[in-house]
Amino acid sequence: MPGFELFGALEKKEINDVMESGVLMRYGFDGLRNGHWKAKELETALRHRMQSKHAQVVSSGTAALTVALASAGIGAGDEVILPTFTFVASFEAVLALGAIPILVDIDDTLTLDPIAVAQAISNKTKAIMPVHMCGSMADLDPLQQLCNTHGLVLVEDACQAIGGSYKGKPLGSYGDLGCFSFDYVKTITCGEGGGIITNNERYYTNADHYSDHGHDHKGKDRGAETHPFLGYNHRISELNAAVGLAQIRRLDEFLAIQEKNYAILRKALEPIQGIRFRKVPEGGVENYSFLSFFLPNAEKAKTVQKSLTEAEVDGCFYWYDNNWHYYRKWEHLTQMKSLGNVSQEVKNQLPDYTQADFSKSDHWIGRTISCLIKLSWSEAEVNERASKMATVISKGITS
C-alpha cells in the first residue's frame, strides 16, 4: 500500500470515460453519460469481491462508518464499543450521530479484546465496532457471539484491511455491516472515497437513501423522488469512483505484492531474540499492508523506531505517541473540543476518559512498531530494507 504507487493506464482510462461524458455526479443525467456509471460499477465490483449481497459507495471511510451506523438505527444516546487503537474517524462517526463512543482495551491482536468488550456492555449498548488496524483483524467469533447474546449490531471497520479474510470470509463481510476507506493512502484508493457492504437488505436501502439526502432513488426523474426519512450528502463523485473501479480490479495484484514484500521482511526479523509478532486470530489472513511486532518493552520500542528513522528506514510507526491513532493524544475527544455545542446528553453519558485506565492497551501499543509495506519497492530495495531492519532491531534489543 498505498494503491497510488502503481497508478497507470487502467486508472487513466476510467477517468477519461468520465471526462469525455462530462458527468461527474453519480446520479441523474442519464442521456449524457455514454453509458458510464462508475459508482454503480464500483458497487458491483465491491459486492462481488467481498462476497456480499449489497454495496454502497460513499465519499470517505468516515462517511462509510457514519452511514453504516445510521443505517442500523444507531443514534442519540446509543453506545458503540470500539478500541483505544484506531483512527479518529471511528469515534467521530459515532459522535456525529449523537451516539456515545465507549473505548475499551485491545489485546495482542492490536484490536478489540473480547473480554474487555464483554465487561463494557450496558443496557445502552447497540453496536460493537471492531477495527481491523494495520491490515489484520479482530478475533471476530467471540465478538459475534457477544452480539448474538445481547442483540447487538456488529460493524466491521475494515478501512485499513481490505483484502484480508477471517475463516474464509473477506474482512467486512463477517459482521452485519462492513466499512472500507478508499482515501489516498489505502491499499486501493479513489483519492477520497469509502464503501459499505451488508447482506441485510434493510440496512442497504437505508444506506442508499441516507447517503443522498434521503432520496428513495425510485424512477428516473431525480426531482420527483421522495424522501422517506432525513438524510445527508455523503455521495461519491464519478471521478473518484472511476479511480476506485480501476483499483479494485487490481486488488489481488496489490495483495500479492504486499504479501511477497511482507514475507521477506518477516523472514529477516524472525531469528531475532526478543521480538514477537502481532497475533493473527486463528483462521485469519492479513492483507499484508503492515508488519507489526512487539519489542521487550516500551523504552526499547521507542529507541528502535528512532534508530530505524535515522537509518533511513521510513514508514515504521510507533503508535504510542501518535496523534491520530491512539487514545492518549485525543484531547479533542476527552475534552469535547467542538465548534458547536455538544448535546448535554452526550456530555452526561460520555465516560471521563481523562481518568480512564487503559494500561492493558498501553502494555501492547507501548511495545509495538508497525512497518508499512509498499507496493513500489524493487526486490533489491526490499532485501536492503530487511537487512537494515534486522541490524537496527538486533542492536536496539541488546543495547
| Shared-domain flag, residues 99 and 182 | yes
The answer to whether the pTM exceeds 0.85 is yes
| Shared-domain flag, residues 245 and 276 | no
| Shared-domain flag, residues 219 and 366 | no
| Shared-domain flag, residues 227 and 351 | no
* 169 in Cβ contact with 204 (< 8 Å): no
**What's 303's domain CATH number?**
3.90.1150.10
Question: Residue 287 and residue 290: Cα distance in Å, rounded?
Answer: 8
| Shared-domain flag, residues 256 and 373 | yes
Cβ neighbours for 203, distance < 8 A, ≥ 6 positions apart: 54, 68, 71, 72, 176, 177
| Shared-domain flag, residues 162 and 122 | yes
Handedness of CA 376, 380, 381, 382 (dihedral sign): positive
| Shared-domain flag, residues 127 and 60 | yes
Answer with the one of 215, 250, 285 that is the final residue of a domain.
250
Domain count, the chain: 2
- In a 3-state reduction of DSSP, which class is residue 272? coil
Question: Residue 388 and residue 315: Cα distance in Å, rounded?
Answer: 13
Answer with the one of 250, 271, 292 that is the final residue of a domain.
250
User: 153: domain range?
Assistant: 3-250
* 383 in Cβ contact with 129 (< 8 Å): no
Answer with the one of 230, 250, 270 that is the final residue of a domain.
250
| Shared-domain flag, residues 313 and 240 | no
| Shared-domain flag, residues 184 and 41 | yes
| Shared-domain flag, residues 272 and 244 | no
CA angle 196, 162, 176 (to 5 degrees): 40
**What's 141's domain CATH number?**
3.40.640.10
CA angle 94, 191, 164 (to 5 degrees): 65
CA 196 to chain centre: 11
What does the pLDDT look like over 280-292, one tens digit per residue? 999 999 999 999 9
Q: Rg of the chain over CA atoms, in angstroms?
A: 21
Q: Going residue by residue through the chain (399 aa), what tens digit of pLDDT does each one get?
A: 899 999 999 999 999 999 999 999 999 999 999 999 999 999 999 999 999 999 999 999 999 999 999 999 999 999 999 999 999 999 999 999 999 999 999 999 999 999 999 999 999 999 999 999 999 999 999 999 999 999 999 999 999 999 999 999 999 999 999 999 999 999 999 999 999 999 999 999 999 999 999 999 999 899 999 999 999 999 999 999 999 999 999 999 999 999 999 999 999 999 999 999 999 999 999 999 999 999 999 999 999 999 999 999 999 999 999 999 999 999 999 999 999 999 999 999 999 999 999 999 999 999 999 999 999 999 999 999 999 999 999 999 998
What does the pLDDT look like over 83-92, one tens digit per residue? 999 999 999 9
